[in-house]
Amino acid sequence: MFSRHQDHHGACHAILRIQNVYKLNTTDIANGIIMNNKATEPLSAVECLDIAKTSTKTAYYRQGLDWINIAVQKNLSLADTLEAKITTADIFRMDGNFTEAMAIIRDIQADIQFKDNLTEYHKSRIKLAEEGTKG
């Protein structure tokens, strides 16, 4: 039996895969529209961010950036905005754009609202991103 986390990750991965196969628009999916069928509720900002985070594990990097942009437009909390920025840096790093990844990391480190809210988990992800950008 799968845990809720595995089920959630699997659902996010399935959305990315279906989006890729059928060339579905990210904004439409986030708004609950798939092939002209409308869901009762759109996806929340956090659900969009979760899909973006899943993209880092599935190499759907371009789609991940689209999902992050939508999540940010839907008004994430400060903690989730920080998570979105770190995930964006991860996506750029994994896609080989080390300059952009480091620019985002430096922005996070310079921004007082984020600097004061970095948990050990965030610090470890930033360190991993920094190490991953060294050639």
Cα 45 to the center of its chain, rounded Å: 10
CATH number for domain 1-76, candidates 3.30.530.20, 3.40.50.150, 2.70.70.10, 1.25.40.10: 1.25.40.10
Domain with CATH 1.25.40.10 in the chain: 1-76
List the one residue out of 35, 78, 30 whose CA is nearest residue 50. Answer: 30
- pLDDT tens readout for residues 8-55: 788 999 999 999 999 999 999 999 998 888 988 999 999 999 999 999
pLDDT tens string 74-116: 999 999 999 999 999 999 999 999 999 999 999 999 998 888 8
Question: Over 50: is that where the pLDDT of 1 sits?
Answer: no
| Cα(126)–Cα(128) distance, integer angstroms | 5
Q: What is the pTM of this model?
A: 0.88
